[in-house]
Amino acid sequence: MRSAGKRQKRLVLALTAGLCLAIALPGHADSDHDHDRARQALEAGEILPLRTVLEKLARDVPGQVMEVELERRGERWIYEIKLLRPGGALIKLKVDARDAAVLPARDNAPKN
C-alpha cells in the first residue's frame, strides 16, 4: 500500500509538471496568454491546484491518470482528464477546476 501511495504522489507531481510544461510550450495556441491566465486563476483562487483535483478524483473515481488538460470554457475552467479504469476502460472526464466536481455525463460527451 505504501508504495502505491508513493507512486500516486510521484504521478501527481509528474502530471503537474507536465501540465505546466504543456501550457507553456511554444507553438501551443496563445500559449503565453493561456499560461498566464491559468496561473492568475490559480493565484486568485478561481481554480484548485491540479494535485488537489487529482487527489479528490482518486477517491471518487479510481483509475490511473493518463492525460490532463486545462481549458477555459466561457467563464469556467475545466480540467479534462483521461483515466484508465480498473478493467482497462479508458474514460475522459471533465472536472470543474473550481471545486473538483466531475461534470455530468452530457458535459463529458466527446466534442464534435
Q: Where do the structural domains in the chain lie, given as residue ranges?
A: 2-108
Which fold, 2-108?
A: Nuclear Transport Factor 2; Chain: A, (3.10.450)
Whether the pTM exceeds 0.85: the reply is no
Answer whether residue 33 shows pLDDT above 50. yes
Decide: residue 54, CB within 10 A, 0-12 exposed, 13-18 middle, 19+ buried: buried
**pLDDT per position as a tens digit, 65-104:** 999 998 888 889 999 999 999 999 999 999 999 999 999 8
> Cα separation of 24 and 39, whole Å?
11
Contact 24, 35 (CB under 8 A): yes
Answer whether residue 24 shows pLDDT above 50. no
Answer whether residue 106 shows pLDDT above 90. no
